[in-house]
Amino acid sequence: MSLFPAYGGSKPPPAVKETTTEGTTQAATFSDGYKVTTEGWKNNKSFDLENHAIAAEKTTSPLDTSSEDEDTSREGSPQPPEQKERIPLRRLEFDASDGFYVDKQNNPSYLTIKSLARLSRPRYKLKLGRLWDASQNFHWIVHRRKVDWKSCRYGKNVAKECKVSPEEIDDLQAELNECRVLVAREPQQLEHWIRQHKLLGRNPDRANRLAVSEQQLHSLKLALEQHTSNEELLQLYIETASATYPASQVALLIEQLLERNPFEYTLWTALIMATQGTMARCNANDVLRIYENSMRRMHLGHTDTTKKFDTLDTDPIMLKLFYNCALFLRQMGHSNRMFAMLKMALEMNVMGLEVDCLVAEAERENTLIEFEEVVLESGMPLPEIWTRVELLRQAYCYLPYPALGGNSGIDEGIDTERLVFSADVCSYVYPLKSQTNRLHLYLLIVQVTKIPVVRSHCLADRLCTRIKQIGESEAIEMMLAVLADRHTYTSSVKHTGNFSVALLNLAREMSVTPSFMPHFLGSDLYEDTVSGLLLKCSEAFAHEENSRRIFILLWFRFKRLLLVIRKLMKKLTEAYLKEVRHRIRQLLRLEENRHVARFFTELAMFEFEALDWNNDPSPAFNVFQHVVDWQRSSNESLDNPDLMHVYVIYAEMLISRNDRKKALEMLICVCLQKHAPIDPEDSADKSAALQNSMNVIQMELELLIAAPPNMALEEFFSSNKLLLGLRCHCLTLCLLSRADEADQLLHGLLKDQFSREKALTSERHRFMREQLLELYMVVLQVPSSMVGKDSTEPTTVRSSRQLVQLVEQGLEEFPRNMALLGRWANFDKLPWYKQRARFIRTKGGILSVLHLVLAARCRYVLSLKQSEDAAVGQEVPHLNVAFEIAARNRVIHVFETFLPTNVNRSEIEAEQYQILRRNSLYWRCYLRCLSDKYTSFDRSKEVLLTALDECPWDKALYMDGAMYVPQELGHLQDVMIEKQLRIYAMIEELDILRDS
């Protein structure tokens, strides 16, 4: 039946049997005998033709369904003469045989739209809100201008297509041929290979991308035959292969290189990331299988039958792979296997050591059942119940079960994932070849448990793996090292209060269970676990005093960190202080700790940090006075670095309490190397004290020349006599109103003995230069009330400018120094674009980005406080909302700066993204900033998918995705099961428990 019956009756005519050419009527007889006249469609009122010319054409030109009959009729019948003069009109492109109108020609004008209608265009305003900084006198001038990409600072980064002339192609080809000749003639020259790689990348043959990349890979493979372990060539090969082939083929290429040289850490990490960092290939067992092969190969390195690698020390590579494997297990949520692996590594390298603190105890997890029952009976939706129960079990059930026996105390129906046997983890742990590497191993184990150990850049280079590859920690607790180990006590809390609060708030938002952060349920259990681990590590080095003291110091710092966190969170109680003091005194009563002055200094620092609870500093100062009297009675020389450390810390605390006289007395005692109290005559002769101090410094500088360039790991934690002497000497000059002399002394040392050139060739000089930069920063920040009456405002301004230049130079050389990063984030009077640009150029990985976020938050708090002070007694909610929105947009822009979607991204930002993309903390912070009422779920989902594609192994990302994009919870759980992530609570189990 026809779609339009008026055009041809109820059925379309398949064949015409009878056609009349005379008259205006036509008849069609169908095969079933049904006959209809086609003239009826003209009488239908729904098809009323308004063009009479077309109707006239219809009457004069009879329709015919057969084109062949139409041609013959035109040839056979002559046309009247009056019709020849008429202009022929366009024929209609349908007839009665079609049954309906067919549009056979499109209108090309509708394919492109040059511009929208005026009322359809959105109005874009060039005026953008920004965070108002009260310290800057901004003039709010609204003006319109056309963006000039030639003068714009972003115009340099816009890729412009340019045509290459034939002459330039010939020159490039000639240069490439010349380079090939040099490579063939001098293959041992690394510069020729790198130059050839760059010239091939410019594509002089104008080949496709695949051909160019294959030429580069072939050239790099030949170069690696000449330079087997060159780091630059290995990185170029991995980057080129990853950009050319899929991950599976990249893994095959890397395995071929590993067959020739199996002791390259760069190749092993690249092979691991080809599996771990790809969503399609990421699987817990597959990644662990690679770790198993790599660790076994490192263990067999010395016993290789070919005797090719007999002299190779594989312990450093094994330590890095061990650390990466432990991080991978922690990020996958397999804390049970991680702690079982740490326990085996501790016991395997120290005979007779039993690490029972890393084994679960059933009675300590009884509170978990009570909390679970509260959640199950709360009546919340099942997805919310699953999220909370999962986090609860993750906080309590992180330790593996002990070896099951008759008195194990473990009930039936236990979680089989917590039954970790030795056979499950022995493939990832092997004994070290050299006993000197045990301290390194134990420090890595402590670091994996999220204890903030590293504060300096040099120690981070020594302990942590290269941040351009895997191995950078995603634990936000690592940033709390500045709270656990303050680099100075001269500055008051007033200058660092906002930053400390912002740092703690960020740590609370981004921390993941299990953690020692007090706002988590089960944090006390993890705190006891970590404290016991530190004491077990000190017990393992019972016969190595220097190493044993390191873990006791870390234990003190950990207790002090928990105190500071509770004080900032206003959760510090007298009961907690009493308990911690009792544990500290128990530790100090031990025979091996009773005569160590450094431990009593840590006790005094703990008491000083608790001053907010009791503003009387006498508990801390009494400890110092006890140590001074005790050492004076024992005739101990003051040239001992630990005793010098006692006096210097005591003096800095006195400076922060504005006790200038007492602080100067302590410093002069160190300069004269005499115990307090000293004679009034000696105290009055300040020049003699300074001269004696300078002589000691010169002697230490001479001894430093003969010292080996590489430092022992213990030296990073021990007191340094040269640094303490310089610290005491410079602080004395500042208190005597001679700060310019201290400035000249430090400037001369940084320029001569500890110059940047010497720091590149010696690890010791590099560490000393970093510490001198911190000391220089302390000298420039000594309170003006301590400098003397001669201090004027221009001097203060000069010191501020000098401080900014110093910190900027320090960050350029030591991008992972926590003290420098924190001080740069505190420069609230510095223009935002300068502060932001320095953090972006600082190649500190996730540390620089997080400190940039902290800087934005500190500015927001400061601006909000200043606006409230300016409008006393008035309510300005609209201004507060404007500040909040501006701060929120500023923080989001920090993360979006590095993304590939940023068309104005610079080369430095692109390089930083290659480091940040594999760190889940970057994506989690970005997701949290988007979780507000100003962001749609679609945008959060898009960011979540990008994050999971970059870090598919991190469980914290999936848990945050369940919180910020709850509608995708079912899909996230499926992916977690597919990737074999650790899931403590199945949603079906909770559904049954909720209904029971």
Has residue 793 got a pLDDT over 60?
Answer: no
Among residues 530, 539, 477, which one has the least CA distance to residue 508? 477
The position carrying tokens 């301004």 is 797
**How do residues 837-879 score in pLDDT, each as one tens digit?**
999 998 888 999 999 999 999 888 887 777 766 666 565 566 6
- 3-class secondary structure, 397: coil
What dihedral do alpha carbons 89, 95, 98, 102 form, nearest 10°? 20
- 3-class secondary structure, 28: strand
- Output 763 or 142, whichever has higher pLDDT: 763
| CA 692 to centroid of chain Cα atoms | 48
Say which range, 282-286, 562-566, 601-605, 790-794, has the weakest mean pLDDT.
Answer: 790-794
Has residue 38 got a pLDDT over 50?
Answer: no
Quick count: other Cβ atoms within 10 Å of Cβ 360?
22
**How do residues 215-265 score in pLDDT, each as one tens digit?**
999 999 999 998 888 889 999 999 999 999 999 999 999 999 999 888 999
Rounded CA gap, 240 and 237, in Å? Answer: 5
60 band by pLDDT with thresholds 50, 70 and 90: very low
**How do residues 685-697 score in pLDDT, each as one tens digit?**
788 889 999 999 9
- Looking at residue 2, its pLDDT comes to 47
Residue 125 in contact with residue 34, Cβ under 8 Å? no
Residue 868 token pair? 């409230």
Residue 822 in contact with residue 851, Cβ under 8 Å? yes
Rounded CA gap, 145 and 1, in Å? Answer: 65
The domain locations on the chain are 166-244
Say which range, 127-136, 388-397, 421-430, 462-471, has the weakest mean pLDDT.
Answer: 127-136
- 3-class secondary structure, 611: helix
Q: What is the pTM of this model?
A: 0.81
Residue 678 token pair? 């000293």
Say which range, 165-179, 469-483, 828-842, has the weakest mean pLDDT.
Answer: 469-483
Instruction: Encode 145-179: b = buried (16+ Cβ within 10 Å), e = exposed.
Output: eeeeeeeeeeeebeeeeeeeeeeeeeebeeebeeb
Has residue 728 got a pLDDT over 90?
Answer: yes
Give the pLDDT mean for 790-794. 46
Q: What is the DSSP string of 256-317?
A: HHHHH----HHHHHHHHHHHHT-TTT--HHHHHHHHHHHHHHHHTSTT-TT-SSTT---HHH
The position carrying tokens 């293959």 is 187
Residue 344 in contact with residue 429, Cβ under 8 Å? yes
Residue 433 token pair? 């070849």
Residue 762 token pair? 């010696």
- Looking at residue 673, its pLDDT comes to 87
Residue 774 in contact with residue 819, Cβ under 8 Å? yes
Quick count: other Cβ atoms within 10 Å of Cβ 380?
14
Give the pLDDT mean for 460-478. 74
Q: Hey, CA dihedral for 56, 59, 61, 66, is it positive or negative?
A: positive
- Looking at residue 634, its pLDDT comes to 75
Say which range, 88-102, 288-302, 525-539, 571-585, has the weakest mean pLDDT.
Answer: 88-102
Has residue 784 got a pLDDT over 90?
Answer: no
Residue 561 in contact with residue 452, Cβ under 8 Å? yes
Rounded CA gap, 952 and 944, in Å? Answer: 11
Rounded CA gap, 909 and 903, in Å? Answer: 11
